[in-house]
């Protein structure tokens, strides 16, 4: 019985390791990188009046944006300061309202 050549086995192992690396890259690393870039863009666009949710689940309205912090109004007399990275996303429905306020409604002219 003939044994496989050590060069062929080595090439197969290298191919297998390369395939695993590419799977990790396309399934884990690349999507996380895109999400991180999207979140950084979101944080850079925060402004006063935006309604957001923090990573701890606190809903509030942005009243002040600093270089590294954001102050939220969470109640009539309650303001909390967070690091920018703690802001997760807009409140549900707020982003749609924000986009529709930017676009003029052509339907009303007819």
Q: What is the pLDDT of residues 65-78, one digit of tens each?
A: 999 999 999 999 99
Task: Name the residue among 60, 26, 68, 15 with its Cα closest to residue 44.
Answer: 68
How confident is the prediction for the chain on average, in pLDDT?
87
Decide: 53 and 90 in contact? Cβ < 8 Å: yes
- This prediction has a pTM of 0.67
Rounded to an integer, the average pLDDT of 29-44 is: 94
Residue 49 has pLDDT above 60, yes or no: yes
Residue 55 has pLDDT above 80, yes or no: yes
Residue 106: pLDDT over 60? no
| Structure token digits, residue 47 | 């402004």
- Spatial neighbors of 98 by CB under 8 A, at least 6 apart, are 50, 90
Which residues lie below 8 Å from residue 23, measured CB to CB, with a gap of 6+? Answer: none
Residue 44 has pLDDT above 50, yes or no: yes
65 DSSP β-pair partners: 70
Q: What is the 3-state secondary structure (H, E, C) of the chain?
A: CCCCCHHHHHHHHHHHHHHHHHHHHHHHHHHHHHHHHHHHHHHHCCCCCCEEEECCCCEEEEEEECCCEEEEEEECCEEEEEEHHHEEEECCCHHHHHHHHHCCCCHHHC
């Amino acid at each position: 019985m003939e044994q496989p050549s050590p060069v062929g086995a080595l090439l197969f192992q290298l191919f297998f390791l390369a395939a695993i690396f590419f799977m990790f890259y396309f399934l884990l690393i690349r999507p996380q990188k895109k999400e991180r870039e999207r979140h950084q863009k979101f944080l850079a666009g925060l402004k006063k009046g935006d309604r957001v949710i923090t990573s701890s689940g606190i809903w509030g309205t942005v009243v002040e944006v600093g270089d590294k912090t954001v102050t939220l109004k969470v109640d009539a007399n309650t303001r909390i300061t967070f690091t920018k990275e703690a802001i997760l996303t807009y409140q549900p429905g707020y982003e749609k309202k924000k986009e529709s306020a930017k676009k003029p409604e052509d339907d009303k002219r007819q």
